[in-house]
Amino acid sequence: MKAYPTFESEFLEWDSTRQHKFITLMHLSNTQDAPLVSQLLNLIHACDPSVIHQFITLLITQWPQHEPPVLAYITDTNRPSHIRVMLLIQITQPSCLTDAVLETLVQCYTNPKDAVIEPIIEAVVDEQPLQLLPVLIPYVLKPATQLRSQQLLARIGRKTLIQVLGPAKTWPEALVKALENSPYKSA
């Protein structure tokens, strides 16, 4: 019985020009084919850097359709780090910072395997602390993610916490205890 080539095997055999053309066609057709995007996410690490860049540009310009498979890819630490970092850099544009994206960023930060992603998340904290804070608070209250998320809270600073949450005496007791026990002191 003859084995038929799969999309994956054919795509990787194409030269970079043909891969570019295929991604351009996806872009122009404004495809909402999430399975196809997921397949390409799994293959793209083996492509030329220019193809990777073009594909990531496609994902970001059509972000609403592709958000779920991209976020799933980013949180999977078995995936190639360089692609995950490139995607994170792209999605940290203010227009893409939805709660789902921020949640993914915090998940990545609290995962010790994701040290390579730390500077990107810290940059988001520096640029968008008020937007990140509501997503971050639940992680401060979970023992497994408390220490890493306390680092981000310290980076945000006490002044911003008071600005968002009001006076410290009105904060939930669990949050106050988590911050009191924190080795990280916020400004």
70-114 pLDDT, tens digit each:
999 999 988 888 899 999 988 888 878 888 999 999 999 988 888
Residue 56: is its pLDDT beyond 60? yes
| Distance (Å, whole) CA 38 – CA 65 | 12
Mean pLDDT across 25-37: 79
Q: Is there a contact between 134 and 128 (Cβ–Cβ < 8 Å)?
A: no
Which has more confidence, 4 or 84?
84
Length of the chain: 187
- HSE toward the beta carbon, residue 14, CA cutoff 13 A: 18
- The one-letter code for the residue type at 33 is D
Contact partners, residue 36, CB within 8 Å, separation at least 6: 26
pLDDT of residue 2: 66
pLDDT of residue 18: 93
- High-pLDDT (> 90) share of the chain, %: 20
Contact partners, residue 171, CB within 8 Å, separation at least 6: 165
Residue 51: is its pLDDT beyond 90? yes
